[in-house]
Amino acid sequence: MSVLDENIAKAGAYMAGFRASGVLNHIGGQTVAALSGDTMDTISPIDGSVLAQVAKSDAGDVDRAVAAARAAFPAWSKLPGAERRKILIKVAEAIEARAEEIAFTECMDTGQALRFMSKAAIRGAANFRYFADQAPSAEDGEVTRTPTQMNTTSRRPIGPVGVITPWNTPFMLSTWKIAPALAAGCTVVHKPAEFSPMTAKKLVEIAEEAGLPKGVLNVVNGLGETAGKRLTEHPDIKAIAFVGESRTGSMIMAQGAATLKRVHFELGGKNPVIVFDDADLDRAVDAATFMIYSLNGERCTSSSRLLVQASIYDDFTARVAEVAKRIKVGHPLDPETVVGPLIHPVHEAKVLSYFDKARTEGATIAAGGAKIGEAGCFVAPTLFTGATNDMAIAQEEIFGPVLTAIPFQDEAEALALANDVEYGLAAYLWTNDLNRAMRMTDTLEAGMMWVNSENIRHLPTPFGGVKASGIGRDGGDWSFDFYMETINVSFPRAPHNIPKLGG
């Protein structure tokens, strides 16, 4: 039996539970169907087969979940941070113990390759550990004094919060939002993406088995325009942490306006990787190809625009094309696979539409540019060359293993091209000239920049975008600032003159 066959057999066992009982909601510690009894399919991107029936919830289901989160809030928020820490560390341990199950489920539901998903489960556990460790000090503030007043600042959990997540790497992304919310003392209603709901259900089950009190984390499945919308409008939900497309972020901001919702948005990107001719080109080729062709290119921080100095453009893009052509596309559970099937036929159709756009716009398809096979959502790793920055393939987020290469003459042109998009999530810069790196990073419009490096996440650092790529930052203490209210209390240090009115 090959490793792939073994993995498929294991995944079949993991899927059997979902097939039998469906992906139901999890509210107040109970697994429940949608009140209407409605369901929707979640399908395998490998062959289009139905993996399970998913609860198709509407406003009434969201209201139940919010009521459960509200009921659980007083006890959870008052639990000492050190106690919350203990529980959340147990959750991290339980995730690690079930990392294989999570990874296999994620591969089947999303099409992401196992070589990346096995790490995603471990990263999810790391998120829980990191934020758990900060729970004991999350309330802490500072004391500031004047001759007459002593001001004490502290933080309180904001209340029940909504977390709305997208379909790419859903487990890791959800933990990134949910772990700091729980560590801060908030309770959560999570609305996972309709294309990939499975691991959200696993997370809440694992968390409760590890000791998370019932009602602290609740999961409601359903469509964005119904279940998601109600969550953003619910008056008892104090904040919405959202990861997804920029236009959905705009809708959520409008939907939450009536209840003055606090929002945190991690949105789309069209991130440049800028390569100067003085760079270590071997490493730059590896990093540029890794950041677009790993995770199926369905990654907000993917380096989807390759800006290369004209003097090395032909040689560099030829090397990238060679790598793209050699990449193994295949079953996500095959340990050799780099690119698996895209999440869903709807998304695949979007990605494929850019191959026609590229041809119409006059770009060259230097690698890929086609669907692979008949069954499933397999798309060849693709490189467009000869592109200009005004083309749709240079401006729009394609969200697949698709890279658009554009030449530049000098630093000024590189900067102009890099910044001439609506997005501003990440930028990658390759040069051995330190002064140039300083100048460029001062002016690039991106929330995160990596110099001579691919995206290496360090949890204490801020993660987030500028322009249409987001509002707010995750990581470090920034996460706690979002999920908590900062309160100031002032005490008199000495009698002071209080003006008498009306005397």
| Among the listed residues 460, 487, 486, 468, the one whose alpha carbon sits nearest the alpha carbon of residue 180 | 460
Catalytic residue list contains 396:
no
23 forms part of the interface with ligand NAD (CB under 6 A): no
267 forms part of the interface with ligand NAD (CB under 6 A): yes
Q: For residues 182 and 343, which CB has a smaller minimum distance to ligand NAD in the complex?
A: 343
Q: Which stretch binds ligand NAD (CB under 6 A): 242-250, 365-373, 376-384, 487-495?
A: 242-250
**In this chain, which of 53, 77, 232, 431 binds ligand NAD, going by CB under 6 A?**
232
How far, rounded to the nearest angstrom, does the alpha carbon of residue 308 sit from its chain's CA centroid? Answer: 28
Please name the residue that has the structure tokens 């000791």.
Answer: 211
Distances (CA, A) of 425 to 83, 303, 418, 421, 464: 36, 10, 11, 11, 6
At residue 497, what are phi and psi to the nearest 5 degrees?
-70, 120
Q: Side chain identity at 155, as an amino acid letter?
A: R
398 forms part of the interface with ligand NAD (CB under 6 A): no
Give dist(CA 134, CA 80) in Å, integer.
12
166 forms part of the interface with ligand NAD (CB under 6 A): yes
Contact set for ligand NAD, span 299-338 (CB under 6 A): 300
Site size for ligand NAD, by CB under 6 A? Answer: 31
DSSP 295: G
Distances (CA, A) of 33 to 38, 40, 481: 8, 12, 35
Neighbours of 347 (CB within 10 A): 21
Q: Which stretch binds ligand NAD (CB under 6 A): 24-32, 243-251, 318-326, 486-494?
A: 243-251
470 forms part of the interface with ligand NAD (CB under 6 A): yes
CB of 482 to ligand NAD, least distance (A): 14
Inter-axis angle of helices 198-209 and 99-110, nearest 10: 160
271 forms part of the interface with ligand NAD (CB under 6 A): no
220 forms part of the interface with ligand NAD (CB under 6 A): no
Q: Which stretch binds ligand NAD (CB under 6 A): 11-19, 76-84, 244-252, 410-418?
A: 244-252
Please name the residue that has the structure tokens 């919830």.
Answer: 57
Q: For residues 298 and 334, which CB has a smaller minimum distance to ligand NAD in the complex?
A: 298
Select which of 233, 266, 348, 396 is catalytic: 266
194 forms part of the interface with ligand NAD (CB under 6 A): yes
449 forms part of the interface with ligand NAD (CB under 6 A): no
Please name the residue that has the structure tokens 């139901």.
Answer: 24
399 forms part of the interface with ligand NAD (CB under 6 A): yes
At residue 98, what are phi and psi to the nearest 5 degrees?
-115, 25
Burial of 143 (0-12, 13-18, 19+ CB in 10 A): exposed
* Residue numbers at the binding site for ligand NAD (CB under 6 A): 164-168, 173, 191, 193-194, 224-225, 228-229, 232, 243-245, 248, 251-252, 255, 266-269, 300, 397, 399, 425, 465, 470
Question: Would you name the residues annotated as active-site residues?
Answer: 266
